[in-house]
Chain A
Amino acid sequence: MSAASTAEAPAFVAKTKTGRITDFVDSRVGGSGILREFGRKVFPDHWSFMFGEVALYSFVILLLSGTFLTFWFDPSMAETRYAGSYVPLKNVEMSVAYSSSLNISFDIRGGLFMRQVHHWSALLFVASIAVHMLRVFFTGAFRKPREMNWVVGSVLLILAMAAGFTGYSLPDDLLSGNGLRIIDGVIKAIPVVGTYISFFLFGGEFPGTAVIGRLYMLHILLVPALILLMIVLHLFMVVVHKHTQYPGPGRNDGNVVGYPLGPVYAAKAGGFFFIVFGVIALMAAFFTINPIWNYGPYDPSPVSAGTQPDWYIGFVDGALRLMPGVIGDFHFEYVIFGYTLTLNVLLPALVPAGILFTVMFMYPWIERWITKDDREHHVLDRPRNAPTRTAIGAAGFVWYCVMWAAAGSDLIATHFHVSLNDVTYWLRALFFVGPIIAYIVTKRVALALQRKDREIALHGRETGRIVRLPHGEFIEVHAPLDEYKRYKLVGFESPVPLPAVPNEHGVVTRKEKRRAFLSRWFFEDRVAPATPAELEAAHGHHAPAVEAAEESKTLSH
């Protein structure tokens, strides 16, 4: 193991066979240096830091199960008659792609299991990316120096959605075929070039005979290659930046506290891969996913009730559902200079997703501009200690969820026995009102939690023990915190609004005024962390209170 010195130590002779092989490789690739650099690298430990790993591991499982599936899947759209063993589809006319997907499900041992593993891990892949991003956002981990890694992560989210969608369409079943048809409709709504793009994608008119083969190539080659590239970039930057850590005693922007990579962290992270695989295997064992045999082959005439995309495309589908095509007498589809402009499709398909992704990509820079904060941050914010950011995030999340829920409006209607139309009306209202309510409520909750922290820091935690004082008053005994726990509650920054400052010419620009306005909005409502002086005062104030039971004290629980 101590073969660290490489070039100038030819005297080293390995004693065991393994040692000789290791030495052979090491002296040619310089592994010792790498091990020296990374072998004891410190990683902070927190459950919320694991979602990125869940995503990475799901991706590995996707590659493994996907490779298996490619051995039997045939992306041809040629017509055939089903001759496999699933009786309810016997002799039905279908594409080769669908027929080979059925064969994987029914005639190849383990094929159905692999299909289910592949699809469940795809859903989990995108879900864990989403949760990982939420964690990064709400803890402020995107701040300097990690802005670019936030962008890479956002690109990964989009690529994951693209991988999912191209895969969803491959079996050429009725459900995914209708999904493609919706995509075709959305593409055709694009002004000027929409019709051409549709014809180029489908190799002519919808559905044509080309699209499955093309999506297959994107799904198994281009998109995974890009994802892999982005993952490499992402992890490279994680190494450069080192991991962030939650605030607490002994943790600051200049250090990183946690377990060394070897052995503890490597064991935990490595073991976690098997755990993720195991959980996915359990889902694939006992829960059906994408039962293509139910849907039947794609045919432009039939459709099934409850036609929806996989969850990550759901918010776009929901937006399409929420948009009214006609308001009063105004038709959102109208003719302009002899050409048709289909705003009832274009607006919901592009605008919410556009806003969501633009804000997502730009948020680190937006906050940086407002706060003028150019310092490096390696200690995370507890979400309550950045109330405005947390509220913005919650508003965006609720907005997304409203659209998401809209994609299941028909199922909400049938399962809660309410009118489909009413569900849509309510969700339309929530589309506008929901984020505002979420913003206000979240901000108030965050501030309330900060106050609670302050009180606990100053007065200790409630013990639940009620004591009766000699004169008859009942009080609850509060136990003081130890200094480590207290520091966790008080060790945060509470920036004040930054007023507009003149530039080098002594002029306060319009832009600077806007920034100052936003800064006030961002930091105006704040709860300052408790200070030692306050703690002192609190003790001084309360100690005699208990002993002498001063009359000024009233029970205010």
Chain B
Amino acid sequence: MGNHSDGSPNHSGTVATAGQNEVEKFQDPGLPPHRLRLADTDPKAAKRAERQVAVLFGASVVGTLIFLVAYFAIDLGAGSGANIATIRLQNALLGLGTAFAMLGIGTGIVHWAKALMPDHEVSEERHAIRTEEDRLAAVRIVDDIVEETGIKRRPLIRNTLLGAVALAPLPAIAVFGDLGPRPDNKLAHTMWAPLEGKLKRLTRDPDGTPIKASDVTLGSAFHVIPEGLNELHEGKLNEKAKAVVLLMRLDPASLKPSAGREDWSYNGIVAYSKICTHVGCPVALYEQQTHHLLCPCHQSTFDLTQECKVIFGPASRPLPQLPIAVDNEGYLVATSDFKEPVGPSYWERDEHERSVNS
């Protein structure tokens, strides 16, 4: 009563450092006396609980019926003209039916158990997980087994067996050798490399129509695939996964190309790989006033005016630039492949970059 913390260290809850000398403890009073439920004493209450359980089971039956009606009465078949609203209705009714069917059974059983089945808590003794007697018996058995095999006396058998067992799983690993081809230098090249001396045009994603320099007005962004990509029969997505490019036009004055890159752009039009150098998401978010490129997956931000240098986020390397020019019909073309592997880094990347540039 009164105040429950009078402040004196002897009586307040202590944050004691060590050696609390009071060993005396409260005795376990044992299980509290059992308290009867309403249904245990009042037959009316028991009867009421019984009816409630039955109603819940009945609700389950209704749920099952809802499901069946929704399944058979609503037709999604081809040519039925089923629209999204119909599908939504059917989905909702199927779900509602299932929910009623399941919750009816579940809550019914639980209510039954809670209200009508005996609720005496009982205590059960725990037994030792392992008795000393069992342990001794087991040791004796193992000793006998080892003795009978004679494995200790015949090291030759033991050692050759160990060797054989150690080697046996190797074929199981080797057999997966054909899961994929060797990488070689496939990651070092893209479809942009000129084919038989013919420079590849930059074409629109997804329809593959070529792009004129004059089409690319200030502030616009074109999503670009190489000419001929849509005509590939095999490995189209593999090539697309490396070759996609974002094309933008800036004020030529804001571009400050580094040495060797002066002729990679055309009148302020620049093309950069769309594949993030972090883990490969398409860096497709172009902010036309700040000239930032943002990757929506991990928020790496690249500055177009600094040759796509990383200015924020987890990427560590600038986006590769595609050298472009204009052909005699006014269409944009790639003058060569990327001068470095595109996309996320990999162990052999630097080696590949050196071989591309040599």
Contacts and interface: CB of A to CB of B under 8 A. Distances in A.
Q: Please indicate whether A and B come from the same complex rather than being unrelated chains.
A: yes
B279 interface: yes
Interface stretch (B122-130, B151-159, B253-261): B122-130
Q: How large is the interface on A (under 10, 10 to 19, 20 to 34, 35 or more residues)?
A: 35 or more
A494 B20 contact: yes
B62 interface: no
Contact of A301 (B117, B186, B235, B274): B274
A475 B15 contact: no
A256 B126 contact: yes
Interface stretch (B6-14, B38-46, B131-139, B321-329): B6-14
Given A207-B238, A254-B126, A285-B92, A542 B1 contact: yes
Given A107-B76, A285-B99, A320-B314, A475 B2 contact: yes
A317 B314 CA distance: 11
Nearest to B74: A109
Contacts of A26: none
B356 to A, nearest CB: 14
A338 B186 CA distance: 18
Given A256-B123, A323-B314, A339 B106 contact: no
Interface in B1-28: 1-7, 11-20, 22, 24-26, 28
Contact of A478 (B1, B113, B244, B280): B1
B348 A195 contact: yes
A324 B7 CA distance: 51
B3 to A, nearest CB: 5
A401 interface: no
Given A249-B32, A254-B126, A321-B314, A259 B119 contact: yes
Given A203-B179, A344-B315, A188 B26 contact: no
Interface string B207-246: 0000000000000000101000000000111101110100
A447 B129 CA distance: 34
Nearest to A92: B206
A259 B348 CA distance: 63
Contacts of A497: 18
Contact of B98 (A188, A285, A487): A285
Nearest to A347: B314
Interface in A187-219: 188-196, 198-208, 210
A556 B8 CA distance: 12
- Interface size grouping (class) on chain B: 35 or more
A252 B28 contact: yes
Contacts of B25: 490-491, 529, 531-532
Most buried by B among A178, A450, A497: A178
B24 to A, nearest CB: 5
Interface in B153-195: 176, 179-183, 186-187
Contact of A205 (B92, B108, B187, B284): B187
A258 B122 contact: yes
B251 interface: no
Interface in A237-260: 240-242, 249-250, 252-260
Nearest to A322: B314
A483 interface: yes
Interface in A157-199: 178, 181-182, 184-186, 188-196, 198-199
A254 B3 contact: no
A162 to B, nearest CB: 18
A7 interface: no
A338 B351 contact: yes
Contact of B296 (A117, A189, A252, A307): A307
A196 B237 contact: no
A29 interface: no
B22 A339 contact: no
B122 A303 contact: no
A193 B144 CA distance: 47
A205 B225 CA distance: 18
Contact of A450 (B3, B13, B96): B13
A278 B103 contact: yes
A344 B187 CA distance: 20
A310 interface: no
Nearest to A526: B16
A496 interface: yes
A474 B129 CA distance: 57
B180 A201 contact: yes
Contacts of B52: none
Interface in A72-89: 79, 85
B186 A264 contact: no
Interface stretch (A17-25, A124-132, A269-277): A269-277
Given A270-B109, A278-B103, A496 B18 contact: yes
Contacts of A345: 278-279, 314, 344-345
B91 interface: yes
A263 to B, nearest CB: 5
Contacts of B196: none
Nearest to B114: A268
Q: Which 3 A-B pairs have the closest CB atoms?
A: A285-B95, A185-B279, A274-B106
Given A279-B103, A340-B350, A342-B346, 6 more contacts: A113-B95, A185-B279, A190-B347, A322-B314, A325-B315, A410-B296
21 contacts: A185-B344, A195-B183, A204-B180, A249-B31, A255-B123, A256-B123, A256-B124, A258-B121, A270-B109, A278-B102, A278-B104, A285-B95, A298-B237, A325-B278, A338-B350, A339-B347, A341-B347, A344-B314, A529-B26, A537-B11, A556-B6
